[in-house]
Amino acid sequence: MTIELLFLRLAIALYLAGTLAALVGIAVRQDLPRTLLPRLLWAGFGVHAVSILVRSWTAGHIAVTTFDEALSFLALTLVAVFLIVHVRRPLVALGAVVSPLAFGLTLAADAVYRGARPLPPVLDSAWLPVHVVLSFLGDAVFALAFSASLLYLLQERRLKTRRGRGVLRFLPSLETLDRLNYACLVWGLILLTLGIMSGIVWAHTAWGRFWSSDPKLVFSLVTWAIYVVLLQGRMTAGWRGRWAATLTIAGFAVIVVSLIGVNVLQLGQHGKAF
Amino acid sequence: MEAAPASRGAAVRGIVVVGLNHRSAPVEVREQIAFPNGRLEAALRRLLELEGVSEAAILSTCNRVDVVACGSDPDHVGGLLPGFLAREHGVPEPVIAGHLYTHAGREAVRHLFRVAASLDSMVVGEPQILGQMKEQYAVAAAAGASGQILHRCFHKSFSVAKRIRSETAIAEKGVSVGSAAVELARGIFDRFDDKAALLLGAGTMAELTARQLLAQGVGSLMVANRTFDRAIAVARDLGGMPVPWERMTRYLPLADLVVAAAGGDEFLIRPPAVEEAMRERRHRPMFLIDLAVPRALDPGLNGLDNVYVYDIDDLDAVVADNRGARTREAAKAEVIVDTEVEAFWHWFTSLEAVPTIVALREKLDDIRRRELERSLVALGPVDARQRAVIERLTQTIVNKILHAPLATLREHRADPAEAFYIDAARRLFRLGSDPGDDEDS
């Protein structure tokens, strides 16, 4: 087993432990699992980052050009974004959604693991890390928005039906979740916009055209349009709550479809590159 | 009745509680033998005059009366207390006898610990009993009725109550309608200081709930009532703003929380009014609580987006839930009580003369032997005869030192001053200190 794979598996184990800590944390309402969760995720983030750095160093470029690298990198950014939010506002319930997501993504990365592949020379440029980091950070922020929306719908359902005084009553308040959703929407849109723009510029320098027919670009524009409409609705029409949460989830579904679809079916430049 | 077990043949000294509570006696009986605060001191004095009673305290609230007494013969003392209660309140003893419980020895200690920790209260975990107990114990202490044993026992019960409060969630969940409303609102709102509440109806129930909301930090309050004067009075009382009854829907857009506690022949608020209000408040969530029976809010309101309606049954369900949670926590509390009773009982039995005498001898002999060994090493080679002389010397010194204190301890066996001398001896010579106990040093 290579060092990077060893560290990746260590990260998988830590994310799994984080998942358990978060679940126990909401179920029993005790301090230990609640303080354990961020520590496990920080540790997972650390070894995970080392794994990706080692692989990038071996490959000679940032390790996000194959499918398993992409999954792994998305998990890393998701955990990073969650931890940033967690510093400002600890939300164990959010951790209970994010940790299993990170666990699943890294596990999938391990399952489809192939060694590093050489990068086509035309793509070897300073735009690679810029475009990729921006895009993945955007995806991670939207994944967090998705998590918050999921919790929102659960909490809203609990309150409307006036039932579920069990474990669900420890969910964060609707106000907290809606505010987090809004913040993620703004930041996600900024990052997504920059990601698309950097991709376009990069494509122009690489091939002299703007990649107009790439399915990934089409998917990204659809995602972008959904979130712009949502932001517009929030700012002018006072959209919020369940409707905003549903649209957020729809937007994230497009991201997932594009991530899976484009890469599995190997469509366009993104499909080939991975 | 269980008597305090005699320990190692020493004098039987005991602590006994006779009383009644909300479970053992109906309110008609409880109110007859309750002690008004002003009469406590005189009653304590008469209690101390009873034969064999060395220390006493009385705890009297609307839910319970407990008479606590120490004496050399707890069976005898316990037998006197029902008569005492009957005489004090001028009721025939048979009227109350069937409602009284008696706890003696370890069980009496456990009883006091449980009462202080609110495990024996009507609402388990309610905080008032501890304060009442502290106040009434202070009366007994000031009147000179409590002595060393009750002093320790009551102070220990206070610290046990504190420990239970911090180590279990026994008092965490509210069991009033107002606190249940706040708990439900926490599912919707993150903070309350930027929220406004609208009170529809200004009766006692509404006022109580409003107080709970304000205690949670709700930012502002509007009060509407059919008679405007009452709205003004309550609003002034709570620091809110009175709102004319006929124009209440105009104020709906401002309200994040609505408490409806005014009944009527038809619903006070119907969906169209709230729909209108929601548009105006840009769909920020609205939480409506219906305390009225029959209901004042159209249940159809719950179907609107971002509007959450709860009625009195929902609040009662939360209250029942929290009571259940308290009961579960009470099981943990009982375990704490058990260990604390054991620790106290260990101290209590150590107050018997014999173990103290043994411990004192052992301690001094231990010192003697250790110092002897050291000196013998320092002396170098000595023959058997010299060694015997030195040993006898040390033995004699120890015996002479011990003679007077041991004589005093024996002299006071089974008299009221015994515990004092034993405790003094244990403290002076630091015998078998009671770990984790520094409340009354």
Question: How many Cβ pairs closer than 8 A exist between chain A and B?
Answer: 47
Q: CATH fold of A130-274, please?
A: Four Helix Bundle (Hemerythrin (Met), subunit A) (1.20.120)
Is there a single domain that holds both residue B163 and residue B207?
Answer: no
Greater pLDDT, A266 or A192: A192
Q: Measure A221 CA to nearest chain B CA, in Å.
A: 29
Q: Residue B96: which of B159, B176, B18, B150 has the closest Cα?
A: B18
Is residue B194 domain-shared with residue B219, that is, in the same domain?
Answer: yes
Question: B406 with B298, same domain?
Answer: no
Residue type, B266: E
Query: Is CATH 3.30.450 the classification given to domain A1-119?
Result: no
Residues B83, B141: one domain? yes
* Residue B290 belongs to domain spanning: 177-319
Smallest CA–CA distance, residue A236 to chain B, in Å, is 9
**pLDDT at site A158:** 87
Q: Above 50 in pLDDT, residue B4?
A: no
B62 counts as catalytic:
yes
Q: What is the pLDDT of residue A31?
A: 76
- pLDDT per residue as tens digits for the range A69-120: 889 999 999 999 999 999 998 898 999 999 999 999 999 999 988 776 777 7
Nearest Cα to A117, choosing from A274, A8, A263?
A: A274
Average pLDDT over residues A202-217: 78
What's the Cα-to-Cα distance from B177 to each of A114, B41, B216, B291, B314, rounded to whole Å? Answer: 61, 38, 14, 9, 10
CA separation for the pair B81, B245 (Å, rounded) = 59
* Residue-level pLDDT at A268: 66
Q: Are the CB atoms for A97 and A150 separated by under 8 Å?
A: yes
- B195 and B109 in one domain? no
The domain ranges of chain A are 1-119, 130-274
Residue B337 is assigned to a structural domain of this protein: no
Residue B160: give its domain's CATH number: 3.30.460.30
Q: Which of the pair, B158 or B328, is modelled with greater confidence?
A: B158
- Select from A145, A184, A179, A88 the least CA-distant residue to B285: A179
ipTM of the complex: 0.83
- Which of A166-170, B217-221, B275-279 is the least confident region? A166-170
Against a cut of 0.80, is the pTM above it? Answer: no
β-sheet bridge partners, residue B289: B259, B310
∠ CA B261-B262-B267, nearest 5°, is 105
Q: Average of pLDDT values for B103-123? A: 92
The H or E element spanning position B46 is helix B40-49
Residue B270 pLDDT exceeds 70:
yes
The answer to whether residue B436 scores a pLDDT higher than 60 is: no
DSSP E strand boundaries for chain A: none
Mapped onto helix, strand or coil, the DSSP state of residue B205 is helix
- Measuring CA to CA, how many Å separate B137 from each of B116, B117, B154, B421? 11, 15, 7, 24
pLDDT band at A68 (very low <50, low <70, confident <90, very high): confident
Which residue shows structure tokens 């998917």?
A219
Read off φ and ψ for residue B169, nearest 5 degrees: -95, 30
**In chain B, what percentage of residues exceed pLDDT 70?**
94
For residue B433, name the pLDDT band (cuts at 50, 70, 90): low
| pLDDT score of B416 | 64
- In angstroms, rounded to a whole number, what is the distance separating the alpha carbons of residues A213 and B162? 71
Which residue of A lies nearest to B195 if distances are taken between CA atoms?
Answer: A175
CB contact under 8 A, B285 and A243: no
Which residue's structure tokens are 């969760």?
A: A37
Least confident of A26-40, A184-198, A200-214, B284-298: A200-214
**DSSP H or E segment with residue B48:** helix B40-49
C-alpha dihedral (A29, A31, A34, A37), degrees to nearest 10: -140
CA-nearest of B175, B438, B201, B140 to B316 is B175
Give residue B12's pLDDT: 39
Phi, psi torsion values for B138, nearest 5 degrees: -60, -35
Is the pLDDT assigned to residue B114 strictly greater than 90? yes
DSSP annotation of B300: G
Question: What are B103's strand-pairing partners?
Answer: B17
Residues composing chain B: 441
B369 in Cβ contact with B425 (< 8 Å): no
b/e string for B204-235 if b means 16 or more Cβ within 10 A? ebbbebbebbbebebebbbbbbeebeebbebb
- Residues B284, B402, single domain; the answer is no
The DSSP code sequence of B58-77 is EEE-SSEEEEEEEES-HHHH
Q: Are residues B189 and B301 in the same domain?
A: yes
Is pLDDT of B132 > 50? Answer: yes
Determine which of B36-45, B102-111, B314-323 has the lowest per-residue pLDDT on average: B314-323
Cβ <8 Å between B308 and A160: yes
Report, as an integer, the average pLDDT of B116-131: 88
Domains A1-119 and A130-274 fall in the same CATH topology: yes
CB B216 within 8 A of CB B183: no
Question: Structural domain tally of chain B?
Answer: 3
User: Is B166 exposed, middle or buried (CB count within 10 Å of its CB: 0-12, 13-18, 19+)?
Assistant: exposed
Question: How high is the pLDDT of residue B255?
Answer: 95
> Of B326, B333, B322, B328, which Cα lies nearest the Cα of B116?
B333
List, for residues B197-233, the tens digit of each pLDDT value: 999 998 888 888 888 889 888 999 999 999 999 999 9
Burial of B435 (0-12, 13-18, 19+ CB in 10 A): exposed
CA distance A84 to chain B (A): 20
Please tell me the predicted confidence (pLDDT) of residue B430. Answer: 85
Q: Which residues touch B280 (CB under 8 Å, ≥6 apart)?
A: B253
Specify the higher pLDDT residue, B212 or B102.
B102
A239 contacts B283? CB cut-off 8 A: yes
Select the residue from B305, B311, B312 to test the A interface by mutation, using most A Cβ atoms within 10 A: B305
- CB B187, CB B289: distance < 8 Å: no
d(CA B175, CA B316): 9
Probe site for chain A from B182, B188, B322 (most A CB atoms < 10 A): B188
Judge if B312 and B357 occupy the same domain: no
Looking at residue B426, its pLDDT comes to 82
Mean pLDDT lowest among A72-76, B10-14, B120-124: B10-14
Instruction: For B318-358, write each residue's pLDDT tens digit.
Output: 888 888 888 888 999 999 999 999 999 888 877 777 778 88
Shortest Cα distance, chain B CAs vs residue A239, angstroms: 7
- Catalytic position from the list B62, B317, B320, B358: B62
Q: Which two tokens stand for residue B103?
A: 């706890």
If asked whether residues B152 and B194 sit together in one domain, one would say no
B186 in the same domain as B142: no
B329 belongs to a structural domain: no
Amino acid A147 reads S
Whole-number pLDDT of residue B346 = 81
Residue B440 covered by a domain:
no
End-to-end CA distance of chain B: 33
What is the structure's pLDDT at B439? 41
- Specify the residue for token string 């005093």: B408
Give, in degrees to the nearest 5, the angle at Cα B247 between B241 and B251: 55
Residues 251-310 of B with CB under 8 A from A: 282-285, 302, 305-306, 308, 310
Residue B319's pLDDT is what? Answer: 84
The Cα B227–Cα B213 span in angstroms is 23
B102 phi/psi in degrees, rounded to 5? -130, 130
Residue B129 lies in a domain: yes
Task: Give me chain B's average pLDDT, please.
Answer: 87
- Residue B275 and residue B383 share a domain: no
Burial of A188 (0-12, 13-18, 19+ CB in 10 A): buried
**DSSP H or E run through B31:** helix B27-33
pLDDT of A167:
58
Q: Which residue has better confidence, A272 or B12? A: A272
Q: Which one of A26, A88, A162, A182 would you mutate to disrupt binding with B, by most B Cβ within 10 Å of its Cβ?
A: A162
- Residue A172 at interface with chain B, using a CB cutoff of 8 Å: yes
Of B112, B147, B167, which marks where a domain is finished?
B167
Confidence of residue B382 (pLDDT cuts 50, 70, 90): confident
Please give the mean pLDDT across all residues of chain A: 87
- Helices (H), ranges, A208-234: 215-232
Residue B7: pLDDT band (50, 70, 90) is: very low
Q: Are residues B182 and B300 in the same domain?
A: yes
| Predicted confidence band of residue B369 (pLDDT cuts 50, 70, 90) | very high
Position B31 scores a pLDDT of 86
Count of CB atoms within 10 A of residue B368's CB?
17
Task: Express as a percent the part of chain A with pLDDT over 90.
Answer: 53
Give the number of other CB atoms < 10 A from CB of residue A42.
14
Say if CB B224 and CB A210 are below 8 A apart: no
**b/e map B92-114, b = 16+ CB within 10 Å:** eeeebeebbbbbbbbbbbbbbbb
For the ranges A35-39, B301-305, B353-357, the lowest mean pLDDT is seen at: B353-357
